[in-house]
Amino acid sequence: MQDDILRLAYEVSRITEDKVDRIDRVMKQTGMLAINARLEAARAGESGRAFSVVAQELGQLAASISAIGAELRGAIASNIASLRTAGTQMLVDFKGTRHTDLARSAVEIIDRNLYERSCDVRWWATDSSVVDVLEAPTQSSVAHATERLATILRSYTVYLDLWVADRSGRVIATGRPDRYPHAIGEDVSYTEWFRAAMSTQTGDDFRVCDIATNPTLGNAQVATYSTAVRAGGHTRGAPIGALGIFFDWAPQAATILDGIGLSPAEREHSRLMLLDAGHRIIASSDGKGICTEHYPLQPANRESGYYQKDGKLVAFAVTPGYETYRGLGWLGCIESTMLDD
């Protein structure tokens, strides 16, 4: 609707300019004819006096009509300019509000998805095979835990792997030892996910790390969730190790960005992004800058909104969280080009 209004304003302006120009040309020709008529009347002497008066009046009429045309041109130009300004601002407000809603929807979807991951890690940390392999790490218990983790992975395809690490931070069981053989025996005691897991107070707690590449998992981008595995699988048992689950971030994020409700024409001139709390790009529709680039967002202490800069419209929204998952301060962001008609 806003685009139609602007196009109508431009068309009215174009037609008006054309018609006023044609009137102006006709009046100039009429003025020249009036001048020529007066000259001929002067040559005719007394017999041409009456015709001279008519020619003079005709010239004055042409001048008056030209003046009216000039006033009409100025008045219409001023009103068309105002209409263009109002229409353009209306377009910006409409597009900005819509893109802000879409950005919020994208980050809400990912948080609902990640909330489920927080449930997964706390549930699987109480699995008897996971508890047993940490309490009695025998060849048999490792094989059982590996089989159990593999079964989980076949059902939950959003994960790359699940790791069980003992109290010292050594990985003793994984769900995909064939695909990621170097994970077994890896020292993860220095990693954020392991340290955070071992610091949880109860089995109801979990930790999640920002998106990062994991070299052992083929440098895949992962969201890592973790919690402590506790003695006997009890909620308040002593930590005996940690469970880390690695969410396959890239394809899931791409699916969410692909699902944002923009038309193909809008997507052609837009960049859709998910940003972490530090405005680092963790997903982008153009595939650029992921986990390496920080987007120069200017939220101005707002949790959502839009603004224009350098011919771009930038809309954003901070995650509101979901259920008991408060989120990590991630944002949905849409940068689009403001095209001239």
The last residue of one of the domains, among 252, 271, 287, is 252
pLDDT at 83: 65
3-state secondary structure of 270: strand
Q: Is residue 191 part of a domain?
A: yes
Q: Is 302 left (phi over 0), alpha (psi -120 to 50) or beta?
A: beta
The pair of three-digit structure tokens given for residue 182, joined into one six-digit string? 């170097």
Q: Is residue 317 part of a domain?
A: no
Q: Do 151 and 65 fall within a single domain?
A: no
Return d(Cα 258, Cα 237) in angstroms, integer: 43
Residue 3 pLDDT greater than 60, yes or no? no
Q: Do 141 and 232 fall within a single domain?
A: yes
Question: 40 vs 154, which has greater pLDDT?
Answer: 154
Q: Is residue 215 part of a domain?
A: yes
Give yes or no for a contact between 106 and 332, defined as CB atoms under 8 angstroms apart: yes
Return d(Cα 280, Cα 193) in angstroms, integer: 19
The last residue of one of the domains, among 222, 252, 282, is 252
CATH number reported for the structural domain that contains residue 198 in this entry: 3.30.450.20
pLDDT at 325: 72
Q: Do 161 and 226 fall within a single domain?
A: yes
CATH number reported for the structural domain that contains residue 13 in this entry: 1.10.287.950
3-state secondary structure of 103: helix
DSSP-derived secondary structure letter, 217: G
Which helix (H) or strand (E) is 283 found in, with range?
Answer: strand 281-284
Residue 144 pLDDT greater than 50, yes or no? yes
Proportion of the chain above pLDDT 90, given as a percent: 61
Burial class (CB in 10 A: 0-12, 13-18, 19+), 34: buried
Q: Do 150 and 63 fall within a single domain?
A: no
pLDDT at 251: 93
The pair of three-digit structure tokens given for residue 162, joined into one six-digit string? 């699940």
Q: Do 153 and 206 fall within a single domain?
A: yes
**Burial profile 295-319: b = 16 or more Cβ within 10 angstroms, e = fewer:** beeebeeeebbbbeeeeebbbbbbb
- Mean pLDDT (the chain, rounded): 86
- pLDDT band at residue 141 using 50, 70 and 90 as cut-offs: very high
Q: Is residue 166 part of a domain?
A: yes
- pLDDT band at residue 110 using 50, 70 and 90 as cut-offs: confident
Query: Would you tell me how many other CB atoms lie within 10 Å of the CB of residue 73?
Result: 17
Q: Is residue 72 part of a domain?
A: yes
The pair of three-digit structure tokens given for residue 17, joined into one six-digit string? 């300019």
Give me the mean pLDDT over the 251-261 stretch.
92
The last residue of one of the domains, among 252, 272, 292, is 252
Q: Is residue 230 part of a domain?
A: yes
41-79 pLDDT, tens digit each: 666 666 656 656 665 666 666 667 767 767 777 767 666
Q: Do 136 and 18 fall within a single domain?
A: no
- pLDDT band at residue 272 using 50, 70 and 90 as cut-offs: very high
- pLDDT band at residue 341 using 50, 70 and 90 as cut-offs: very low
**Total number of domains constituting the chain:** 2
- pLDDT band at residue 286 using 50, 70 and 90 as cut-offs: very high
Q: Is residue 272 part of a domain?
A: no
Return d(Cα 187, Cα 191) in angstroms, integer: 9
222-246 pLDDT, tens digit each: 999 999 999 999 999 999 999 999 9
Give me the mean pLDDT over the 288-296 stretch.
94
Convert 297-330 into a string of H (helix), E (strand) and C (coil): CCCCCCCEEEEEECCEEEEEEECCCECCECCCCC
Residue 1 pLDDT greater than 60, yes or no? no
Q: Do 129 and 237 fall within a single domain?
A: yes
Return d(Cα 233, Cα 269) in angstroms, integer: 52
Give me the mean pLDDT over the 313-331 stretch.
86
* Cα 203 from chain centre: 36
Return d(Cα 318, Cα 303) in angstroms, integer: 5
Q: Is residue 64 part of a domain?
A: yes
Taking the CA atoms of residue 94, residue 99, residue 101 and residue 104 in that order, the dihedral angle to the nearest 10 degrees is -160
Q: How many CA atoms lie within 13 A of 172 on its CB side?
A: 27
Q: Is the dihedral of CA 265, 330, 226, 117 positive or negative?
A: negative
Q: Do 137 and 236 fall within a single domain?
A: yes
Q: Do 185 and 68 fall within a single domain?
A: no
Total number of residues shown for the chain: 341
19-34 pLDDT, tens digit each: 667 776 766 666 666 6
3-state secondary structure of 259: coil
pLDDT at 33: 63
DSSP-derived secondary structure letter, 211: P
174-185 pLDDT, tens digit each: 999 999 999 999
pLDDT at 323: 75
The pair of three-digit structure tokens given for residue 155, joined into one six-digit string? 């059902």
Q: Do 147 and 217 fall within a single domain?
A: yes
Q: Do 165 and 248 fall within a single domain?
A: yes
Domain that holds residue 206: 125-252
Q: Do 220 and 172 fall within a single domain?
A: yes
